Amino acid sequence: MENKKSGFTTIDEYIAAFPQDIQKILKEIRTTIKAAAPKAEEKISYQMPTFFLNGNLVHFAAFKEHIGFYPTPSGIEAFQKELSIYKGAKGSVQFPLDEPMPLKLISRIVKFRAAENLKQAKVKAVKGK
C-alpha cells in the first residue's frame, strides 16, 4: 500500500492517509509502542512513524500486504526466534496484514530497544565526563 501523499509531518497525518482498516492497525501499533516506551517522542523520519528515545527507537509503516516494523538489527537479533515466522531483513520485519498483529511481541521489542537506548545514553554520558 503506497502512501497517498508524501511529506508527512506527524504520525496523525501518516495514519490518516490510509483506509480505515489500515488506520485501525496503525493506531493499535502506535498505542502499543507508546505504552511500552511512554517517554519516547513521536516524529516522522524517512517518511515513517518513528519513536525516538536517545536516538531512533523503532519505525513502522504500512504497505500493500504488510506492516513494516523496524526495531534496528539489535531488536531483530534479540527476538530472532519469535520473529523467524515472519519475512524480514537485518533491521526489519514484515507483519502480514491478513494476520493479527503480534502486539505483545511488538511491546517486548520496544521495551528491549528502550532499555538498550537508555543504556547507550548512560555510557555516552559517562564517557563525556
How many distinct helices (H) and strands (E) make up the chain?
5, 6
φ/ψ (deg, to 5) at 109: -65, -45
pLDDT at 4: 47
Instruction: Report how far residue 109's alpha carbon sits from residue 75's, in angstroms, rounded to the nearest whole number.
Output: 6
pLDDT at 83: 97
pLDDT at 1: 43
Residues in the chain: 129
Beta-carbon contacts of residue 8 (< 8 Å; ≥ 6 apart) = 14, 17, 44, 47
pLDDT at 129: 60
Flag residues of the chain having pLDDT under 70. 1-6, 128-129
Give CATH for domain 11-118: 3.90.1150.200
Question: Does the pTM exceed 0.85?
Answer: yes
DSSP state of 39: T
Grid cell for residue 112: 528491549
